[in-house]
Chains A and B, each alone.
Chain A
Amino acid sequence: MRAGRGASLVSVVCVALLAGGCASRDFYIRSLPAETPAADNAADIQQRQAMLAEAAAGASATPQADIGPPLTPEEAPSRYTYDPWERMNRFTYRFNARFDEAVFLPVADKYRRLPSPVRTGIHNFFANLGEVVSVLNYTAQLRPAPGVRSLGRFVINSTLGIGGLLDVAAKMGLSQPHTGFSATLARWGMQPGPYFVMPLLGPSTLRGGFGFLADFGTDYAINLLDLYRGTAGWALTPLDAVDIRANTNFRYYSTGSPFEYDTVRFLYVRKTLIEDDALRMWHRSGNRHAQTPAGQ
């Protein structure tokens, strides 16, 4: 089975390289999904109305109990990011950009041509599988309410949603973002550590990379419906990856800037630190990493 997985990956790569081979010509047209400006604007209006309503209701909302004093500007982490593996990371980033162009994007383009209900089904299916790791980690984070919501989603979508193909729970108003082991570590006070660009997957931190492996290991160990270790296991991860790629509006070097690596690193680590800060059980007064490069 291991050999089968390898062979299939190789063939996917070959087909994609052939498809992507056109990309080396001097004039190359790539069809993108059609834009939907009318619907996008309608969604913007709706979102803005919701935000305004939320802001109006915000005044009457009960403040959360134990969040402590607000973070002061002096406690913000340094603008500099802890990146001791920068040369390796830059190499990986560059590799990822080329892989994306040659393999990931052409495959995602083809995937996007599948009928929309099929793609939504695939997307929901993977999202539903992700609830398993979420329930476990919400529990480990001692956050019962989101844990129960996640469990509820899993039960409802696995049954009424035909094995997770339909997101019935969301239609019932039950939604909850995923969580994972990296967030659990953050909850209990672990710093993100050095910036780390993961091969194929992109920007992360040492803790994020470890969390990713742990989440994958958890799925593999539980082996729900024999999906992960069964005969179809080899197709699972690539399909998940393609689904996510097709739904991610990111293009390497789209601005052409020579400082994209720096920009992405800066934004990614600040985003992680802000999420960590909101997650953390205890807020220390004074931030010990205000002076050292962020992430350390």
Chain B
Amino acid sequence: MKVMRSLGALVLLTQLLAAHASDDPATGLADSAALRATVFGTPPEDVAPLPALVPLDEIDIALPWARPLPAVLWFDRRLRVWFSAQGKPAPLAIVISGTGSDGNTEKLSLLRAALYGAGYHVLTLPSPTNPGFIAAASSTGVAGDLMQDSRDLYAAAQQIVTHLPKKIRITEVDVLGYSLGGAHAAVLKSIDAVEQRLKIRRAVMINPPVSLFTSMQRLDELFALSIGTDEQGIDAFYRRLYARLANFYRLSDQVRIEDTNLLAAVAATLRTDTDFSAAIALTFRIALMNVFYTGDLYAGTGVVTDPRHPPRPGDPTAEVVQRLLSKPFSEYFDQVFAPYYLAHRSGATRASLVAESRLDIIGDALRTEPDYYAQTNADDLILDRTELDWLRTTLAGRIAVYDHGGHLGNLGERQQIADMLDMLAGRWAGAAR
């Protein structure tokens, strides 16, 4: 029984890793404050007022267009999403998770609480780059194409909304997302503008990337700078953190590692900017490993899995994990993503694939439609100066740029939440503040 208890601690640690994995950050040129904000998030003292109770349902849904399920992903047959219902007719907020993440991260929980408190039904969805989504809801199995992933997401959202119990009355639909999910949210609205199936009213992007690929390449750069490109670098980082954690517990008289102090202890082992950069880069790499593995499996590209002998659930994966750990995004693009899309999309070139994963694909809508909004930070790790300027120019008066917060480091903070709710309600006073 004690085993189950200690599992709780483990899970928190895994969630901590997953939470950061979702943050797809970083340039390596970021300052210390931005790195710390990115790792630690909003201090609890600065969190916006939240409601006392938020009801929560977990919804599992099988989607008819999903591709045949590989044996090793047996647990991902149905898409899992989370829903909080108001007891009365209310607008629905659809919230999309960041890179690699499922639909119930801590960040989503924070947004859910704020939105529920403001009177919305809240539906939180995994990122199309989450392996659960790739297996259950992707029509390709190969994640990373902004438009295709958003189309799958749009279809999934429709199915879910259609199946909701009849007693749930939805007055309007708004969509928002953080990090990569922010880009998905905006593209979702642009798809809906044509198809009109959800009748999405407004979209808010929170710390979105401008170019998925350049953001990811910066993360690889950060990985190389803070950890290295070989096994030894990964090993050294692990040993450094392990020794610090072990010494922390030797000094404290607490011998059992409990849920609550484990989080603090892990965070306390990160000290230098290199540590913070490494933690951000590594947790992102873990998200990429899942995308790489599932993509390779579905596309049959044979990089780490053998298409003629598909892996079985009992097979050891340690070797695959080791190989994937040192594979950057560029290898995913070259060996899985590009081969798949060049074969399946007529007229596509490598350059067009890169171009199509930029927010420019909906640039006109962002420029001219009044219902797209964004929030970001001047020191967000995933944007360079040109990209931030592009967002500012494109969205004109519909973007709030805060001075500090790194990547998502101020999510849930009073001003961020207040502005977000104002934007969703169409009453945001603009960048005048």
B378 interface residue per 8 A CB criterion: no
Q: Which chain A residues border B72 with CB–CB below 8 Å?
A: 258
Residue of B nearest to A197 (CB): B3
Please measure, in the bound complex, the distance between the C-alpha atom of A261 and the C-alpha atom of B73, giving whole angstroms.
Answer: 12
Q: Which chain B residues border A251 with CB–CB below 8 Å?
A: 11
Q: Which chain B residues border A77 with CB–CB below 8 Å?
A: 242
Given contacts A72-B243, A245-B4, contact A64 B251 (CB under 8 A): yes
Task: From the candidates A30, A41, A279, name the one contacting B44 in the complex (CB within 8 A).
Answer: A41
User: Judging by beta carbons under 8 Å apart, are B54 and A30 in contact?
Assistant: no
On chain B, the number of residues with a Cβ less than 8 Å from chain A's Cβ atoms is 91
Please measure, in the bound complex, the distance between the C-alpha atom of A165 and the C-alpha atom of B49, giving whole angstroms.
Answer: 35
Residue of A nearest to B12 (CB): A249
A194 interface residue per 8 A CB criterion: no
User: Judging by beta carbons under 8 Å apart, are B3 and A201 in contact?
Assistant: yes
Task: From the candidates A51, A74, A202, name the one contacting B264 in the complex (CB within 8 A).
Answer: A51
User: Judging by beta carbons under 8 Å apart, are B44 and A37 in contact?
Assistant: no
Please measure, in the bound complex, the distance between the C-alpha atom of A274 and the C-alpha atom of B9, giving whole angstroms.
Answer: 13
For the residues of B in contact with A, the DSSP-based class is helix
Count of A-B contacts judged by CB separation below 8 Å? 234
Task: From the candidates B47, B126, B249, B318, name the one contacting A41 in the complex (CB within 8 A).
Answer: B47
A255 interface residue per 8 A CB criterion: yes
User: Judging by beta carbons under 8 Å apart, are B260 and A47 in contact?
Assistant: yes
User: Judging by beta carbons under 8 Å apart, are B54 and A37 in contact?
Assistant: yes
User: Judging by beta carbons under 8 Å apart, are A36 and B52 in contact?
Assistant: yes
Interface residue ranges, A against B (CB under 8 Å): 23, 26-39, 41, 44-45, 47-48, 51, 63-64, 67, 70-77, 79-80, 86-87, 90-91, 94, 97, 177-180, 183, 198, 201-204, 208, 212, 240-241, 244-245, 247-259, 261-264, 267-268, 270-271, 273-275, 277-279, 283
Given contacts A37-B51, A273-B246, 17 further A-B contacts (CB under 8 A): A31-B56, A32-B56, A35-B113, A38-B49, A70-B247, A73-B240, A79-B238, A180-B2, A203-B10, A249-B8, A255-B18, A259-B289, A259-B321, A268-B7, A275-B249, A277-B249, A278-B254
Interface residue ranges, B against A (CB under 8 Å): 1-14, 18, 43-45, 47, 49-62, 72-76, 78, 80, 83, 101-102, 104, 109-110, 112-113, 126, 130-135, 163, 165, 234-236, 238-240, 242-243, 245-247, 249-258, 260, 262, 264, 289-290, 293-294, 313-314, 316-318, 321
